[in-house]
Amino acid sequence: MVSTYELALIISTQAKEEEILSAVKKTAQKNGLSVTSENKWGKRVLSYPIKKHKEGIYVFWDMEGDTQGIGGLSENLRMREGILRYMFLKSDKPKAKIEEKKEKTEVIKESQTEVKKETKKKGKKKSS
């Protein structure tokens, strides 16, 4: 039975983020999982050191698949270097809610870029 999951990853800042994410995504696809959305939080300070790291790169994925696929991916994540922590959450959100969340995230990102542009314009006007 296909269920919806959320995967939370904390990646080491010393690792190559894009290489790890593409490898994990390929492994997920091999295990019959599909990534429906991706939300990168970027580099954050950890609340406590993990494996002697004080910072990590946070990435969240919404995924669809079965529990066997999650088990296979979990084994791979456990052995992969560069991943400090990971956690799977079974989501009760229907697909429509995930799409709504994705749209809201995009709107927030757009509004943040607009605010930055306006701030730059005001800064240029004051300095003139």
71 and 31 in a common domain: yes
104 and 85 in a common domain: no
Average pLDDT over the chain, rounded to whole? Answer: 84
**pLDDT tens digits for range 23-69:** 999 999 999 999 988 899 989 999 999 999 999 999 999 999 888 88
DSSP string covering the chain? --EEEEEEEEEETTS-HHHHHHHHHHHHHHTT-EEEEEEEEEEEEEEEEETTEEEEEEEEEEEEE-HHHHHHHHHHHHH-TTEEEEEEEEE---HHHHHHHHHHHHHHHHHHHHHHHHHHHHHHHHH-
Per-residue pLDDT, 92: 78
> Does the pLDDT at position 116 exceed 80?
no
86 and 103 in a common domain: no
74 and 60 in a common domain: yes
**pLDDT tens digits for range 65-93:** 888 888 999 999 999 899 999 999 988 76
> Does the pLDDT at position 13 exceed 60?
yes
101 and 78 in a common domain: no
21 and 80 in a common domain: yes
